[in-house]
Structure 1
Amino acid sequence: MSAKKADKKGTKMGLSLRLKAWWEGYDPDEIEKRIRQRQPDDYDEPAPKKKEAQKPASIENIDPWNEQTIDIAQYIWGKGFCGPGGPEYVVSLSKLLALSPEMSMLQIGAGLGGPCRVLVDRFGVWMTGYEESPMLVEKGQKLSKMAGLEKKAILEHYDPDDFEGFGRKFDRAMSKEALFTIQDKAGMIAKIEDKLKPGGLFLMTEYVIGSDAVLGKDRYKEWVVGEKGHPFPCLSSELVDMLKACRMQVRVSEDISMQYIDMINQAWSGADEVAAKLAKQDDGAAMIQTLMREAEFWNRRKKMLESGDIKLWRIVANKKSGGPGMMSDW
């Protein structure tokens, strides 16, 4: 290796520093460019040009998940998960549902089926998870089979924009950050209510906007472009009104954004260790690039949550007729 090459390697940002810069909201390419400009004679290669952000022409019918993004998701969030909230969080979130082995439950936004398998394992409930991504469904079905839960933690693909409804009745229902990418939220809530048994409970955690003014902000528009699917978030009060219009009684409606932000920070605090492991793999370079893209994606979401423009909301509602006895204790 030449002296110039050695100097170049020594002054380039390490991967840990690049991840930290990106996570803190700085452009690592710009920082590296400034480092290079301090010693322009030490380099025999030009500084990398910053890529211009481009809005994809269309994401309709394109699955944003592939082998690499799924692997990176599980490195960050845990096996069987592709977003914030591991086993302990899922159990805690679901305690008010009073689940039991005699019950059946549907979930939309099932992802890789992690929450489904956790609830089956902990409470014995029979789960059917519905997910938009064919790739997540395929991988999730394999994980359920490996765990011996293919008959109790079932995953099915569905298209919320072309969906006639669920084929059977359920005791409980859950939506985990799934409604915000569905334009006709009222229609989906009506389909869930239709198949919820009398007295059944519906739990949702959902991205909502802080106010109507958010929709006109540039950073909101940038967030929309950067999402995996086109988001259509609404106000939390609008979600409550949709539930009430479907004869549902709202029992809990609260902002859990800070808890969600903490989970994001905790998961990504170990990203440099993940990168070090990936670097040892044959496809390490490609995987690290995927890791960086996911870091940028979640950093963008986190900043929207920190600003209050986007919030993570939790709602628990019940179908009015014949509500369960536990409601009197709330």
Structure 2
Amino acid sequence: MATKQKKPDAKVPLKLRLKAWWEGYDTDDIKKRLSERTGKPEMDFSDEPKAERPKELSAENLDPWDAATVDIAQYIWGKGFCGPGGPDYIVSLSKLLALSPEMSMLQIGAGLGGPSRVLVDRFGVWITGFEESEMLVDKGRKLAKMAGLEKKAQLEQYVPEGFEGFDRKYDRALAKEALFTIEDKSNMIAKIEEKLKPGGLFLMTEYVIGSDAVLGKDKYKEWVVGERRHPYPVLADELVDLLKKHHLQVRVSEDISMQYVDMINQAWAGADEVAAKLAKREDGTMMIQTLMREAEFWTRRKKLLETGDLKLWRIVANKKSGGPSMMSDW
């Protein structure tokens, strides 16, 4: 009896796999749908580059950023950026700060320094950025030197846990998605307020949870496990209360989640073109693996933002000119 030959599995283009993630389908669902449509066996992804899970953090591997991930971030978000929000967004976001060349600014979560260099270039402000990742600081300093801005847009590496404080006063402070991975937010806000000059402004954009019920959801738990650093998001009201506790007056408190989701979608819309460029590199297979891992990372975040379980909150607060406030002032 002749042996019945198995039909060869069809290949699944990388573009389709990225699109599948973006539209909320998992790999098994895509295999099944395409198998039914084409009459071919369910597709085998074994020879496709796989999005390997990042290594577990340990004493020897505390930095979740490596050179490949930094490169992919800049392919997606733009040179000097490792997350949503390009130059136009950063300038628009910071307009209420009324920045000028006479001012100094403190930034928490500086990343590669792209946002700070944009603000230095546009407003002439002097910025010291603090970033947890040694890899991002090293890469960011090189970018600042190339731009001739190493003095006006400085980057410093720091460890939030047990942080003793900043060594000088600042006119302005900025924290861009930086506090949600800090467990003791009260201590960090206190350190910022301490070095903010009277009348100074503090702008933050921050991940917050939609409700306490979110903490028990499976999707939220998956997101926590997949983050680069363990997240500790709180309710928006809790964040506002912490600012008030440390003598800061909240002037703006608003949900900008949908604008943020739009920026994520726009950036990742060109992921297939990025993949095509990467494929031509000598290390193309490894870089595409990193691209796929980043696609999964941002898909998890985006899904929670779309459901409202996670939100991106914008807050502008100021330090009163007359010193610490009395409770009757609030």
Q: Structures share a fold, TM > 0.5?
A: yes
Deviations 1:17-74 (A, max 9, x none): 111112222223653477579445x99xx76399999897656761110111000000
User: For 1:208-223, what aligned pairs fall within 5 Å after superposition?
Assistant: 208-223=208-223
For 2:25 and 2:47, the matched residues in 1 are separated by 16
Partner SS, residue 129 of structure 1: strand
Mind listing any 5+ residue stretches in structure 2 that lack a counterpart? 324-330
Q: 1:47 to 1:33 in 2, by over 3 A?
A: farther
1:78 corresponds to which residue?
78
Aligned residue type for 2:209: I
Assess if the C-alpha contact under 8 Å between 2:52 and 2:289 holds in 1: no
Deviations 1:73-96 (A, max 9, x none): 000000000000000000000000
Residue correspondence of structure 1 range 162-311 to structure 2 within 5 A: 162-311=162-311
| CA RMSD, 1 decimal | 2.6
Q: Following the alignment from structure 2 to structure 1, what is the Cα–Cα distance between the partners of residues 18 and 89? A: 26
**TM-score, length basis structure 2:** 0.89
CA contact under 8 A between 1:205 and 1:312: conserved in structure 2?
yes
Residue of structure 1 equivalent to 2:16: 17
Partner of 1:83: helix, strand, or coil? coil
Residue aligned with 2:80, SS: coil
Partner of 1:119: 119
Larger displacement relative to structure 2 (18-27 or 116-125): 18-27
Task: Confirm or deny that 1:48 pairs with 2:30.
Answer: no
Distance 2:186 2:248 in 1: 12
Paired residue secondary structure (1:301): helix
Note the C-alpha offset of 1:267: 0.3
Letter in structure 1 aligned against 2:98: A
**Alpha-carbon distance change, 98 to 322 in structure 1, aligned in 2, over 3 angstroms:** farther
**Percent identity among equivalent residues?**
74
Seen in structure 2, the aligned counterparts of structure 1 residues 226 and 280 have a Cα distance that, compared at 3 Å, is same
Change in CA separation of 1:205 and 1:254 when aligned onto 2, cut-off 3 Å:
same
Structure-2 separation of matches of 1:59 and 1:98: 42
Q: Is the 8 A contact 1:113 1:155 kept in 2?
A: yes
User: Residue 251 and residue 272 in structure 1: after superposition, are their counterparts in 2 closer, same or farther (change >3 A)?
Assistant: same
Amino acid at match of 1:48: S
Q: Is the 8 A contact 2:57 2:64 kept in 1?
A: no
Gap change, CA 1:58 and 1:144, over 3 Å in 2: closer
2:27 aligns with: 28
Aligned residues: 315
Letter in structure 1 aligned against 2:11:
K
SS at structure 2 position matched to 1:287: helix
CA deviation vs aligned residue, 1:280-327 (integer Å, no higher than 9, x gap):
11111111111011001001000000000000000000001259xxxx
Runs (4+) off by over 6 Å: 49-56
- The whole-number CA distance in structure 1 between the counterparts of 2:239 and 2:51 is 36
